[in-house]
Every structure is written in structure tokens, then in C-alpha cells.
Structure 1
Amino acid sequence: MKLSDFWRRMGESFGPAYARSVAADQVLPQLGQTIDDALRSGVDAIVVWRAVVANYPDRVPSRLR
């Protein structure tokens, strides 16, 4: 998954401003770090996206899973 795809999905799921807040502030248990930190450290965007889906199943539309 491209980073641009990842951020588009985040924006569609959370709204642009809240998506950035979630990425910066929420530590995802599967990653052991925030979304931003995981992406910066080289974790593949698809792995991060799967963690987002697992942690926010009510926020992520089924078409984006």
C-alpha cells in the first residue's frame, strides 16, 4: 500500500484533522507505538492499516478494509 493510499483511507475513516491526531497520539497495541512512529520506523503501510482496522472497526468503512 502506498502512503498516499494509507492517508486517504485514514482521512475517509476519521476525517482529515482527526486522522492526523489519531496517528500522532494513539499507541496501537499490535504495533507497540503510534501510527506516525510505526510509519517513520519503516513498518509497511499495509501492516499499519491492518492495525488501524483492528483497533477501530466501527470507524473504518467496510469498503476500505
Structure 2
Amino acid sequence: MRISDFWRLMDDEFGAGYSRVLSSSLSLAGVGGRTADEALASGINPRDVWLAMCDVQDVPAERRLGRDIKPSPS
């Protein structure tokens, strides 16, 4: 997963403003008690950070891959 995918998932799930608050202030047990920002800065895989965020925030399994975007009609 790319960092841009991580931020897209964060923004889709929590909103653009709140996702930044969560990433800078919420300690994630799944990445050693770091915040998402700290974990990403230290080189932890964005997918692992995303899954740790999902665990702490109780994101249901069906939303962990992101929202479904319907293709536009051609």
C-alpha cells in the first residue's frame, strides 16, 4: 500500500479533518504504541498502520478495503 492510499482510506473513513487529528494523536498498539504519523515516518508499512488504526477505531471488516466507488456510466 502506498502512503497516498493510506490517506485516501483515512479521509474516506474519518473525514479529511478528523483523519489528521487521529493520525497525530491516537496511539496505535499494533505499531508499537506510535501514532500513525510516527509509524509512517519511521518506515512502517502504511497497510500495517491502516490496519492498526482500524483495530483501535473498530472499523468493520467490510470497510477496511475502502468504500466502493461505482464506475461512471459510459
Per the shorter chain, which TM-score range? 0.7 to 0.9
Structure number having the greater strand percentage: 1
Percent identity over paired residues: 36
Task: Specify the alignment match of 1:49 in structure 2.
Answer: 50
Structure 1 or 2, whichever has the larger Rg, is 2
Q: Which runs of 4+ in 1 moved over 6 A?
A: none
Q: TM-score, normalised by structure 1?
A: 0.87
Per-residue CA distance 1:26-59 (angstroms, 9 max, x = gap): 111111110000000000001101101111124x
Q: Which consecutive residues of structure 1, in runs of 5 or more, have no partner in the other structure?
A: none
**What letter matches 2:56 in structure 1?**
N
The equivalent of 1:14 in structure 2 is 14
What RMSD over aligned residues (CA atoms) do the two structures have, in Å? 1.6
Q: Report the TM-score, using the length of structure 2 for normalisation.
A: 0.77
Equivalent position of 1:28 in the other structure: 28
Q: Is the 8 A contact 2:51 2:64 kept in 1?
A: no
Tell me, yes or no, if the aligned pair for 2:26 and 2:35 is still in contact at 8 Å: yes
